Amino acid sequence: MKKILVTGGAGFIGSAVIRQFINETDCSVVNLDKLTYAGNLQSLVSIADNPRYKFEHVDICDGGQLTRVFREHQPDAVMHLAAESHVDRSISGPADFIETNIVGTYILLEASRNYWNSLDAQRKSAFRFHHISTDEVYGSLGDSGFFTETTAYEPNSPYSASKASSDHLVRAWHHTYGFPVVTTNCSNNYGSHQFPEKLIPLVILNAVNGKPLPIYGKGDNIRDWLYVDDHASALRLVLERGKLGETYNIGGWNEKTNLEVVHSICAILDDLHPQGAPHTQLITYVADRPGHDKRYAIDANKIANDLGWKPQETFETGLRKTVEWYLANDDWVKGVTSGEYQKWMKQNYGDRKTS
């Protein structure tokens, strides 16, 4: 049985990864999370009492706490998902992105490397540091072509520049110190438990509440959407079988314009929530995002050919499941949007820093 230290496990993708590890494997998981506005332990209530799950309320920028966590838990691998992740926030306030995504990744790499150096030969050679990143590091595509693992980095937003920096640090730690890393760069995720500032949950919840559905620019920017559980299963596979020092792109072969995405959500809601139909009447064109990348599209052939991964969910089935989840989980939504969550945290965790 392996023990995985997951950073950012209270976030959207990290919580999906942890639910899979606990429900589908015999691995144990330590979730290390600072619990920013985007981190929510309510996403983990279904597995929180499992003896194979532990939570550590720690900031990845706190090297002393990281050292303690490694010493106490002795993990076999790190999956690094903790990050500031929202492009719009990175435009209005980049400082946290530099701090967590760049400085935090550096501090985590050093704490991990010190721990790795302390392991016996067998555990040292089995250890893995899996860095989870984004396709946004590659910049923007024109009308044709795909991002491959050898596409040059051309990040355009403070978010993508901070993630690109972290990718470079991870790469350097492998080449310089022989630190055993794998990196994945994934396209846009969607699914349950996503903080409602990102396009899909924002549009679902605004539509249900009769609020405008803001479309940046003309709505013709293209994203390549992947269901979050498909991403989580790809991450587990890369951790298990990925080649050291290699990068794997993960994507759903699922390109949609933003307008297509919003129309699909409205059509599902017209069916499941007919009050307010047609929901497309709420579509509102707003000022474009500064430096808005035109198109992202992943060539996912390497992970398919080398590791045999392919997504299970189509956009149609995954989007319907996602809309159904948001309609059925009003408490979760209210918790993350109303400040109730912070109260819940205090009641459940008090001032304790660790579980």
Note the residues at the interface with ligand TYD (CB under 6 A): 87, 188, 198-199, 202, 214-216, 221, 223, 258, 289
**288/331 with CB nearer ligand TYD:** 288
Write out the catalytic residue numbers. 135-136, 159
> How is 139-183 classified by DSSP, letter by letter?
----SS--B-TTSPP---SHHHHHHHHHHHHHHHHHHHH---EEE
34 is an interface residue for ligand NAD by CB under 6 A? yes
Question: Are 255 and 248 a contacting pair, CB within 8 Å?
Answer: no
CA-angle at 37, arms to 31 and 216, nearest 5°: 120
38 is an interface residue for ligand NAD by CB under 6 A? yes
Q: According to CB under 6 A, which one of 5, 6, 83, 336 is a site residue for ligand NAD?
A: 83
**39/180 with CB nearer ligand NAD:** 39
Residue 337, sorted as left (phi over 0), alpha (psi -120 to 50) or beta, turns out to be alpha
Q: What's the min distance (Å) between Cβ of 161 and ligand NAD?
A: 12
Residue position matching structure tokens 């080649």? 243
> How is 66-106 classified by DSSP, letter by letter?
HHHHHHHH--SEEEE------HHHHHH--HHHIIIIIIIHH
* Contact region with ligand NAD (CB under 6 A), list: 31-39, 235-243, 267-275, 327-335: 31-39
Q: What's the min distance (Å) between Cβ of 175 and ligand TYD?
A: 29
Q: According to CB under 6 A, which one of 4, 18, 29, 35 is a site residue for ligand NAD?
A: 35
- Comparing CA positions, the residue from 214, 208, 154, 221 lying closest to residue 333 is 208
137 is an interface residue for ligand NAD by CB under 6 A? no
CA-angle at 50, arms to 111 and 234, nearest 5°: 60
Three-class SS state of 32: strand
235 is an interface residue for ligand NAD by CB under 6 A? no
36 is an interface residue for ligand NAD by CB under 6 A? yes
Q: What's the min distance (Å) between Cβ of 141 and ligand TYD?
A: 13
Q: What's the min distance (Å) between Cβ of 319 and ligand NAD?
A: 14
Distance of alpha carbon 41 from alpha carbon 72, whole angstroms = 22
Distance of alpha carbon 311 from alpha carbon 324, whole angstroms = 20
Distance of alpha carbon 60 from alpha carbon 235, whole angstroms = 20
139 is an interface residue for ligand NAD by CB under 6 A? no
Question: Are 157 and 136 a contacting pair, CB within 8 Å?
Answer: yes
Out of ligand TYD, ligand NAD, none, which partner does residue 130 contact, by CB within 5 to 8 A per kind? none
**5/60 with CB nearer ligand NAD:** 60
> How is 240-257 classified by DSSP, letter by letter?
HHPPTT-EEEE--S-EEE
Q: According to CB under 6 A, which one of 151, 188, 254, 264 is a site residue for ligand NAD?
A: 188
**61/304 with CB nearer ligand NAD:** 61
Question: Are 214 and 286 a contacting pair, CB within 8 Å?
Answer: yes
Q: What's the min distance (Å) between Cβ of 216 and ligand TYD?
A: 4
Out of ligand NAD, ligand TYD, none, which partner does residue 214 contact, by CB within 5 to 8 A per kind? ligand TYD
Q: According to CB under 6 A, which one of 20, 90, 165, 189 is a site residue for ligand NAD?
A: 189
**28/187 with CB nearer ligand NAD:** 187
- Where do contacts with ligand NAD occur on this chain (CB under 6 A)? 7-8, 10-14, 33-36, 38-39, 59-61, 81-85, 100, 104, 132-134, 163, 186, 188-189, 195
